[in-house]
Each structure stands twice: as C-alpha cells, then as structure tokens.
Amino acid sequence: MPHIIATDRALYWAVGEPVVASGLTEVGGATVTGLPMVSAADENAFLAQTVTLAGDYNPLPDAGWLEAGSIYGYSGGLVIVRQSHDRTIYAPEDTPALFSVYRADAAEALVWIANEPVQMGTRRLYDDVLYECIQAHTTQTDWVPPALPALWKVVQEEPVPDAWAVGVAYTGDNTAGAGNGDVVTYNGRLYRCWQSHTSIAGWEPPNVPALWIDLGPV
C-alpha cells in the first residue's frame, strides 16, 4: 500500500482522486492507505499537487468558525486555514492572512502573522526578510522571528544541488543523521538521500522512495 513516513518534519497529505481525506502527519509518524496519495512538507507544493483533485471534498463553508490548520476543498483544489476565524464573505485568494492557497509563484512567500500554526520548514516574510521555521509552534505577537532564533532562521540563498546521476555513491540520513543526507535535483524537484547507496539506472529518486525523500520543487 502507498505510505509516507515523516522523518524530520511533518507532511501534508491527501488521498483519493478526487480527494476524500487529508491531514498532517506527526514527525516520525506514518499514514497508510490503499488510495492514491499526494504529500509534501511544503504547503504550496502540497496545494499544487491537489489542484483539480478535491471535487466536493469537505467544502469550505460559507459561514461559521474555522480552526487554524484545517483543510477544505475550494474551487476544485484545497485550501489551508492559516488562523482561526469566523468565515467572511471574501474569497481565500483575497485574504492571504486567513488562508493558504496554491501560489503559482512559489518564491512569493506569505507574510508572517500571529496565531498561525507553522511547521518545521514553513517560510514566512517578516520586515522583508525571509525566515524558515525550525521548530513547529503557533505564532504569537511576542514571538516574532528576529527575536526567537530557536524558532526561526534567516533563509540564506544557497546554490542549487547537483543533478542526480548514475554511478554516484550517495550518503543518506541513515549514515549522516536525519536531515543531513545528500541532496540532488531531478526533473525540477529536490530529493534528499534517505538510505546510503550507489545509484544505478532505474533507481531515479521518484522511483525509489525507500532511498530518496521528496523535498518539493527546486
């Protein structure tokens, strides 16, 4: 059966075509299903995979209380509630402080707000500086990124990793420690080596999830 195992961070997941269920794994947890599955640690990468898949799944209500972190079907895809609120008349794409929707320009990060559950790897702008969450928490007004290096780090521009190739001895998390395996690019996506091995034809990253963890778009 298809399954996902969250190692160093939680993963958004959705199952079914159209989607019938979705959620967020716990770090180190697993989700098992006999249905088609999509998953990603990055919220925008996850939402991109679910465009046109949601159908009538758990539709976003027109009124009522919405809890932060909840996932709803909207306009054929999914949306994630950023902060708890009473549903307004405004569309999710017009209220980025309330909802995460798929952004075609993935480089356009959302602005940091208070009262939002954020996961390890979540990226937010604060005073025009890009930060990445390094410890899952719910944001609050006195926990702004610059003041809390235990929760946020400044994102530094890094060179794009080398492309995956045949005949290379890759070091995985099982050898280097969780989150420290070799990272490669393949068909526009980033992958981190999970199990150390020497690559061969047919073991391309998307084909062997036992060896590679999909980190999302480059």
54: in domain: yes
Can you tell me the distance from the alpha carbon of 55 to that of 46, in angstroms, rounded to the nearest whole number?
A: 16
Tell me how crowded residue 200 is: count the other CB atoms within 10 A of its CB. 11
Q: How far, in Å, CA of 24 to CA of 70, rounded?
A: 10
Q: What is the structure's pLDDT at 15?
A: 93
Average of per-residue pLDDT across 47-69? 94
Using CB atoms within 10 A of its CB, is residue 11 exposed (0-12), middle (13-18) or buried (19+)?
Answer: buried
pLDDT value at residue 209: 92
Average pLDDT of every residue of the chain: 90
Q: Provide the pLDDT confidence category of residue 160 given band limits of 50, 70 and 90.
A: confident
Out of 157, 179, 195, a domain closes at 157
User: Are the C-beta atoms of residues 11 and 49 closer than 8 Å to each other?
Assistant: no
191: CATH: 2.10.10
Q: What total of structural domains would you count in the chain?
A: 3
- 123-126 and 110-111 beta bridge pairing: parallel
- 144 within some domain: yes
What is the pTM assigned to this prediction?
0.68
The pLDDT of residue 129 is above 70: yes
Same structural domain for residues 211 and 115? no
Predicted local confidence at residue 217, as pLDDT: 79
The domain boundary, picked from 59, 87, 103, lies at 103
Q: Looking at the domain assignment, is residue 19 inside a domain?
A: yes
Going by their DSSP bridges, the two strands 30-32 and 3-5 should be labelled as antiparallel
123 and 195 co-located in one domain? no
Give me the CATH number covering residue 135. Answer: 2.10.10.20
